[in-house]
Structure 1
Amino acid sequence: MELTAKELHVRMGKKEIIKNASVFVKNKQFVGLIGPNGCGKSTLLKSIYKSLTPQSGSVFLGDLNVLKSSEKKVSQHLGVVGQFNEMSFDLTVEQMVLLGRTPHKKLLESDQADDYEIVEEALRRTRLQDYRTRSYLSLSGGEKQRVILARTIVQQPQLMILDEPTNHLDIRYQFEILSCVKQLGISVLAALHDLELAVMYCDYLYAVKDGEIYAHGRPEEVLTPETVEALYQIKCQTYINPVTKRLGFAYGV
């Protein structure tokens, strides 16, 4: 499913955080948002999935007008994985994942056999079958993030938004989370902190600076030494890694 977010403006108090930002995700495309801390990546994503209301602009998921549709209707098509997922109450892993079926249910409708089949597949994809009866609060950060991903998978979204989901995870969980999402074969819009991960997983990039889209294009088009320096105020050289054949970065040179 295609996402079209056009000319979004987000103001907080007197400060304009997002300024005329437009983002497009083609069907089954993995699109990344990059930029320094505080540049507006998360705010832009929140304005797209309705956690924040933009002052102007439009968001369409296919023919669905996201900003004018109910939360339940949007959640049937769009899933979100954030970077912080703390809870003050406890559930088992299976119970947490089952919550992802809520947008597809009527009020007070009980879980059915097909719901459990969908949950089982999500647990398999995220390698959590042996965790189903574990307390969510007892898990490590990486394990919790896999549970949140599984919960989002069972929503059966046609577009998934990732808000720096690997920012506080070690390298193993970074690869596990992004590889699992990539294998879903759905449209993805992800804010990413690590440029090498962006090169590895993204088909297309939007670079954000001071709340505006600074550059966009294929990773090799966007991630030039000039753009990296403009975004992060650090000099770097780019090269093609002889082992991976992907773009690499040498910083401080």
Structure 2
Amino acid sequence: MELTAEKIEVKRGKKEIIKNISVFVKDKQFVGLIGPNGCGKSTLLKSIYKSLIPQSGSVFLDDLDVLKSSEKKVSQRLGVVGQFNEMNFDLTVEQMVLLGRTPHKKLLEPDKQDDYQIVEEALRRTQLLEYRRRSYLSLSGGEKQRVILARTIAQEPQLMVLDEPTNHLDIRHQFEILSCVKQLGISVLAALHDLELAVAYCDYVYAIKDGEVYAHGKPEEVLTSELIEDLYQIRCQTYVNPVTHRLGFAYEL
């Protein structure tokens, strides 16, 4: 599935948060959004998955007009994993993941055997089979994030949006979450803070600054010392990691 978001503009009062941004995700491509806090990454993603409605612009999933379609129809194709997933009520892990089947069901339609099989596979992919009877509220932050990912996998989306899903997780859980998503083989648009993760997982990146696309291209082409300093106001030397053979970063604090 391809995502085409064109000429997106978002304002809060008189302030422009997103300024005429266009973003494209090809079928089965992993695309990253990078940039400093407050640059507009999360606002852009919210306008793409319709958590907020942009003042202008268009969003299409293949031929589906996202901004003019029902939430249910959009949710059958697009899934979202955010960075904060607190709840005021409790469910078991399995019950939480079953909620991912909601877009594919009629009102008050009971869960069927197929739904449970899909949930079982989602729990397996996220290494949560042993947690299925556990209380969601009893879990750690990293475990909760895996449950939310499992719920989104059970939704069977053709494109997944990750809104800084690893922001508050330790290194192990960051890699677990992104590796699991990568292995799904679907289209992904992810806002990421960690440039090492962007290099490791992204096929293409958009660098966002002050609500605009500052640069875009393959990670190794975009993430230069000069661009990183312009974006983050910190001096940085790039190098090829001799172990991973990927781009690495040495910051001058």
- TM class, shorter-length: over 0.9
Counterpart secondary structure, 1:54: coil
State the alpha-carbon separation in 1 of the partners of residues 44 and 226 from structure 2.
24
Q: For residues 236 and 111 of structure 2, what CA distance do their matches in structure 1 show?
A: 53
CA distance in 2, matches of 1:191, 1:158: 18
Runs of 4 or more consecutive aligned structure 1 residues displaced over 3 Å after TM superposition: none
* Alignment-derived partner of residue 27 in structure 2: 27
The C-alpha deviation readout for 1:210-237, integer Å capped at 9, x for no partner, is: 0000000000111001100010000111
The alignment's TM-score, normalised by the length of structure 2, stands at 0.99
Shift of 1:14: 1.2
Distance in 1, Cα, partners of 2:242 & 2:147: 36
- Which residue pairs with 1:101 in the alignment? 101
Rounded to whole Å, the distance in 2 between the matches of 1:190 and 1:135 is 28
Aligned to 2:135: 135
Question: Aligned partners of 1:219, 1:197: CA distance in 2, in Å?
Answer: 10
Does 2:152 match 1:152? Answer: yes
Identity %: 85
Aligned to 1:44: 44
- CA positional deviation for 1:49: 0.3
C-alpha displacement of 1:48: 0.3
> Could you say which residue in structure 1 is the equivalent of 2:119?
119
- Write the deviation string for residues 173-211 of structure 1: whole angstroms up to 9, x where unpaired: 000000000000000000001000000000000000000
Alignment of 1:69-88 (within 5 A): 69-88=69-88
Q: Name stretches of at least 5 consecutive residues in structure 2 with no aligned partner.
A: none
Residue 248 of structure 1: aligned partner? 248
For the residue of structure 2 that corresponds to 1:85, the secondary structure is coil
Q: How many residues align?
A: 253
Considering only aligned residues, what root-mean-square deviation do their CA atoms show, in Å?
0.6
Q: Corresponding residue for 1:177?
A: 177
Amino acid at match of 2:248: G
Task: Quote the offset at 1:124 in angstroms.
Answer: 0.2
Give the C-alpha shift of residue 82 in structure 1: 0.1
> Which residue does 1:215 correspond to in 2?
215
Aligned partner letter, 1:145: Q
